[in-house]
A and B are shown apart, each in its own frame.
Chain A
Amino acid sequence: NAGVTQTPKFRILKIGQSMTLQCTQDMNHNYMYWYRQDPGMGLKLIYYSVGAGITDKGEVPNGYNVSRSTTEDFPLRLELAAPSQTSVYFCASRFLQGLGTEAFFGQGTRLTVV
């Protein structure tokens, strides 16, 4: 059982380039999330999805786009990368149906924009 898998683990982008961070989960979870963690800071929610075809903005969505065409995959797209997007990105998933449950996280993608 792989859980939540993120690729790539590391990436260096030049200002203005675009890229997609991949996230896939094999637990049949309905909810998926993208967070970013800046040095010394907590996890800030970028986007989340409550199921295939449904996405919504989190706390810091500007500069990012997401899609959820399948239950398993939740890619995060960066258009026109900026130095402010240098961060560690975490994808997470959980199964939620009324009662609270824990979310499972991927290993993270460390992105540097130069």
Chain B
Amino acid sequence: DQQVKQNSPSLSVQEGRISILNCDYTNSMFDYFLWYKKYPAEGPTFLISISSIKDKNEDGRFTVFLNKSAKHLSLHIVPSQPGDSAVYFCAADTGTASKLTFGTGTRLQVTL
């Protein structure tokens, strides 16, 4: 039972354009959501998070949007840069259980 889903395994975007990565979840108890970035042969690194009491959080070029009614979140990267090429994971947490459930990842390639 995949509680956190990233339905697009890969995405290619031109440098300077917007990258939009999507994530859906099924567990309505999730109240904290995170995005991680992963380069090959490295551990995931934290990018940005959002609490369920908000619908948007920004940090520089990265913005996360949360639509609780649709159980959907998205990560926007504007403008995209070649160094953004990596695998992006979304993760969700219930606060009390605190198990951090991850999606399967989306590989983003930013082309010149």
Give the interface SS of chain A, mostly helix, strand, loop or mixed. Answer: strand
Chain A residues with CB under 8 Å of B100's CB are 33, 45, 92, 94, 103
Q: Is A43 an interface residue (CB 8 A)?
A: yes
Set B34, B45, B95, B99: member contacting A45, Cβ < 8 A = B99
Give the docked Cα–Cα distance between A92 and B95 (Å): 17
Most buried by A among B93, B99, B100: B100
Besides A45-B101, A99-B95, A103-B34, 17 more A-B contacts (Cβ < 8 Å) are A4-B43, A31-B98, A35-B102, A40-B104, A42-B103, A43-B44, A43-B91, A43-B102, A45-B99, A45-B100, A50-B98, A90-B44, A98-B95, A99-B51, A100-B49, A107-B42, A108-B41
A residues near B (Cβ < 8 Å) are: 4, 31, 33, 35, 40-45, 48, 50, 58, 90, 92, 94, 96, 98-100, 102-108
The interface residues of chain A lying within 8 Å CB-to-CB of B43 are: 4, 90, 92, 105-108
Give CA–CA (A99, B112) in the complex, Å: 40
